[in-house]
Structure 1
Amino acid sequence: MSTDALLSALVTLLVTVDPVGIAPIFLSVTEGMTKHERRIVALRATLIALLILTFFVVGGQSLLHWLGVELPAFRIGGGLLLFWIAFEMVFERRTDRKQATAEVAVRQDHMRDIAAFPLAIPLMAGPGAITAVILLASRSDGNVMAVLLLLLLVCAVMLACLCVFMASERISGLLGRTGSIVLSRLLGVLLTALAVQFVVDGIRELLVAPS
């Protein structure tokens, strides 16, 4: 995997998972917990999300094959999904949706399982992140080293999430409302370009595929 491909994969994962954007939600769903309890929730959520994304990196394409979904079709569909996520980020809708999901979890009194829902699923390992890792894994063309590098990138992004959770109070205070909005919109623009590229790749593969 080339340096450009690695950088593109890292940006895609960081934008779709959005560690900084999850920080204020982590604070809200763990409100009233001690620092030790927050640390346990953060570790558990990170581990669950890592296991989910690792499964889709390794077995995502096999799952698609079993379901009878061709990879070019998934590239196009996945690219459109990522484009919608980017649209929400640019127009400041994604944060509100995430916050609403978190509030539902709290209202339903799922504090014991809050690491699994809503933190690990769908905030960290949601549809966008799952789609991204399957699309990125498809670019490896069966190259074991490329898959291992992608898994390392997934681990790095999950570690970034863990670090953000641990420092969520400080980060939220430093960025403020305005800073979070600006960062989200900038990342949304980057994700838009990456999503369009996935769609273009999928259409190109469909056009050149033998009938």
Structure 2
Amino acid sequence: MNFNLKEIITAFMVLFAVIDIIGNIPIIIDLRRKSGHIQSEKASIIAGFIMILFLFVGQSLLHFIGIDVHSFAVAGALILFFIALEMILGITLYKDDASSSAVTATVFPLAFPLIAGPGSLTTLLSLRAEFAIQNIIVAVVLNMIVLYIVLKTSSKIEKLIGPTGIQIIRKVFGVILLAISVKLFAANIKMLF
């Protein structure tokens, strides 16, 4: 197994931008208020498990329904493009606003679909078209560690960064994600023709 630091860093940054854990701090704080408590460890482990499972099973699932990885990567690039537009322009194209209770807030909507949602799952398969699987797994684990830290310290981070800081971070990661989506689209659209 050869680990490639460049692939790990790129995959980490892409997933970090898609998961948008910093931008989701207001949602996390709202969930804490509604449910009283969020189990940071459980949410991180469940989200990481879903993502790694989909990384392995997702490709087989695609083959089963007759879609190749490059087609899925192009579709994933388009989804990343729209997520990036949401982040940059501050608009909401799609947001699932499910109410939560103390029992379910950790798993739903936090671990799934907020963290391991359509965007991150599509991104995993898109990344798989370009990067080695072990590098993607390391990137997922690193993101889950960051997720755990952010969940544990979300109220302190909100006070430290402030609403303006969170908006700036979202826009910066939005631009990075937009550039990555264009690159992913260009690299995979060639394979289809």
For 1:114, which of 93, 100, 105 is the aligned residue?
105
* 97 and 205 in structure 1: CA distance in 2 versus 1, 3 angstrom threshold: closer
Shift of 1:199: 0.9
Partner of 2:45: 47
For 2:188, which of 202, 206, 209 is the aligned residue?
202
For 1:189, which of 158, 169, 175 is the aligned residue?
175
Deviating 4+ runs (over 2 angstroms)? 1-7
Does the CA contact (< 8 Å) of 1:105 and 1:117 recur in 2?
no
Counterparts of 1:56 and 1:138, CA distance in 2: 14
Alignment of 1:33-44 (within 5 A): 37-38=37-38, 41-44=39-42
For 2:148, which of 135, 140, 162 is the aligned residue?
162
Residue 133, structure 1, aligned to residue 124, structure 2? yes
Secondary structure at the residue paired with 1:46?
helix
Partner of 2:63: 65
Which has the higher mean CA deviation after the structures are superposed, 53-62 or 178-187?
A: 53-62
Shift of 1:87: 0.3
Partner of 2:99: 105
Secondary structure at the residue paired with 1:112?
coil
> Which structure 2 segments of 5+ residues have no match?
none
Larger radius of gyration: 1
Structure 2 length-normalised TM? 0.91
More helix by share: 1
Q: Note the alpha carbon deviations across 1:138-193, whole angstroms, 9 max, x for none.
A: 224xxxxx322221210110110110010001100111111111110110000001
Shift of 1:111: 2.7
Number of matched pairs: 191
Structure 1 length-normalised TM? 0.83
Shift of 1:115: 1.1
Shift of 1:33: 5.8
Does the CA contact (< 8 Å) of 2:73 and 2:129 recur in 1?
no
Does the CA contact (< 8 Å) of 2:87 and 2:171 recur in 1?
yes
Residue 77, structure 1, aligned to residue 75, structure 2? yes
Counterparts of 1:134 and 1:33, CA distance in 2: 33
Secondary structure at the residue paired with 1:111?
coil
Does the CA contact (< 8 Å) of 1:61 and 1:138 recur in 2?
no
The share of aligned pairs that are identical, in percent, is: 30
Shift of 1:56: 1.4
For 1:56, which of 54, 57, 72 is the aligned residue?
54
Partner of 1:86: 84
CA RMSD of aligned residues (A): 1.9
Does the CA contact (< 8 Å) of 1:9 and 1:136 recur in 2?
yes
Residue 22, structure 1, aligned to residue 24, structure 2? yes
Partner of 1:143: none
